[in-house]
Amino acid sequence: MAERAPPLIVGAGPAGIRAAATLAAAGLRPVVVDEGHACGGQIYRQPLAQDGRDDRARYGSEAGKAALLHRDFAALGPDVDYRPNTLLWNLRDGTADVLRDGVNHRVGYDGLILATGATDRVLPIPGWTLPGVFTLGGAQIALKAQGCAIGRRVVFAGSGPLLYLVAWQYMKAGVEVAAVLDAAPLSAKLNLLRALPLAPDIVLRGLRMVAALGLAGTRVQLGVSSLRIEGKDKVSRIVYQSGGREHRIACDGVAYGLNLRSETQAADLAGCAFRFDPRDRAHLPLREASGRSSVAGVYLAGDGARIAGADAAEAAGERAALALLEDRGLPHDAARAAALELRLAKIDRLRGALEAAFPFPAHWAAEIADDALLCRCEEISAGEARRAIGDYVLTEMNRLKAITRIGMGRCQGRMCAAAAAELLAVQTQRDIGAVGRLRAQAPIKPIPLDVSLSVDERQHDPAH
């Protein structure tokens, strides 16, 4: 009898690491593919080269968690088949196409855990394509992985807990943080009172960050709108409205983002059913509390299934692995599984309060300037999209894509689709959940045209 193929884990962030450790402890040897050069994901990203900083300087209050995850994964050693710098670009017929060093490998698996993480969500604003403008996540990666800042005098703008965290990290790194411009009104912050009893340490830590920024001379402004970034060849200032007045702040760098969005393309290619989630304003794959998806043998964990943060990702990764073990008929800790589900339910309540405290500024979609670039890959402006919506009576995202090419470029809609959906909903006076979602297509991310070799690993070799 042929030996069963190994489980496949996509992503080596908090969810993927805990899933791998759980499967390895049960005697399985999972394949772990990861786009990063080392484990940790975006939140606990490791530097490409040592730059003299320790974990405390790099990860702040989360240094202990980061170090533990890195150590635990390294300790797995040969018990996992870890493949860094490897891109999953397709799923078909129960196999995965992964690309590494220009060679495509077709990997067979028995059980698939998707821990694909999240990316920044943005709405186009005037000047957002100027040199010196980064997403919040991009600004954080520059600091963590490269040990460099995006400017000497930086403004952080948008919404979400990440807004204050990255601003604080830059301040601690010695960068002048000119301002934090939060789209949320003061009334929204009252929702932090709901979060306080659920996670007092997290809420109080956030308040201390805000206080530290204020003491350092950073302007913290709530309820901002009508953002625009100005400069001739690069960023020179940011302009915004607040309290009925226009304000200008000189800067040479802007970090901008409006919460996060789940990376769901792999789940789509795996055949998972989706449902609109009002809290995350996105269509997300259906998932049980166990991590099981609508497709047998496919499990979902971490922010790639729903935005919940690193702590939830760790718990969800372990829970998904326990579900895989159970479905394989292998010994598993049912009591541990139940405890993890209780913990995840508590974190979900906390996340609901945080999302209410840092709401997505949906009203901004109506204010997007016609000349603002909506789809950067295909160079399509918001005005062009609006005209197409009116001329062709478009009400659904895939029709908008077919007519305008929005979402057909290198990012496959990963950066523009959320904004395009918001614009389509406003223009057609429909609910955001009613305009649909772009269907994922392979390759999930760009692959080179000169891939000249394909290695078929569907016949599992225990010595591989």
Indicate the residue among 354, 370, 389 that finishes a domain.
354
Residue 108, CA distances (Å) to 9, 79, 111, 156, 349 in order:
12, 18, 10, 44, 37
Please tell me whether residues 252 and 127 are part of one structural domain.
yes
Domain that holds residue 179: 122-258
Is residue 426 included in any domain, yes or no? yes
Please tell me whether residues 104 and 128 are part of one structural domain.
no
Please tell me whether residues 130 and 251 are part of one structural domain.
yes
CATH of the domain at 403: 1.10.10
Is residue 195 included in any domain, yes or no? yes
Q: What is the pLDDT of residue 452?
A: 60
Is residue 457 included in any domain, yes or no? no
Question: What's the CA gap between 156 and 154, in Å, rounded?
Answer: 7
Regions of the chain short of the pLDDT cut 50: 460-464
Please tell me whether residues 42 and 108 are part of one structural domain.
yes
Is residue 186 included in any domain, yes or no? yes
Task: Concatenate the DSSP letters of all residues of 100-152 into one string.
Answer: ETTEEEEEE-SSEEE---EEE-----TTTTSTTEEEHHHHHHIIIII---S-S
Instruction: Find, among 175, 154, 170, 118, the residue nearest to 234 by Cα.
Output: 154
Please tell me whether residues 251 and 302 are part of one structural domain.
no
Q: 456: exposed, middle or buried (C-beta count within 10 Å: 0-12, 13-18, 19+)?
A: exposed
Please tell me whether residues 84 and 144 are part of one structural domain.
no
| pTM of structure | 0.95
Number of domains in the chain: 3
Please tell me whether residues 368 and 401 are part of one structural domain.
yes
CATH of the domain at 185: 3.50.50.60
Q: What is the pLDDT of residues 211-270, one digit of tens each?
A: 999 999 999 999 999 999 999 999 999 999 999 999 999 999 999 999 999 999 999 999
Please tell me whether residues 59 and 129 are part of one structural domain.
no
Please tell me whether residues 251 and 128 are part of one structural domain.
yes
Please tell me whether residues 131 and 202 are part of one structural domain.
yes
- At 94, give phi and psi (nearest 5°): 75, 20
Please tell me whether residues 128 and 250 are part of one structural domain.
yes
Is residue 109 included in any domain, yes or no? yes
Is residue 444 included in any domain, yes or no? no
Please tell me whether residues 136 and 242 are part of one structural domain.
yes
For residue 373, list its beta bridge partners.
381
Is residue 142 included in any domain, yes or no? yes
Indicate the residue among 315, 334, 354 that finishes a domain.
354
CB 56 within 8 A of CB 48: no
Is residue 316 included in any domain, yes or no? yes
Q: What is the pLDDT of residue 56?
A: 87
Provide the 10 A C-beta neighbour count for residue 264: 24
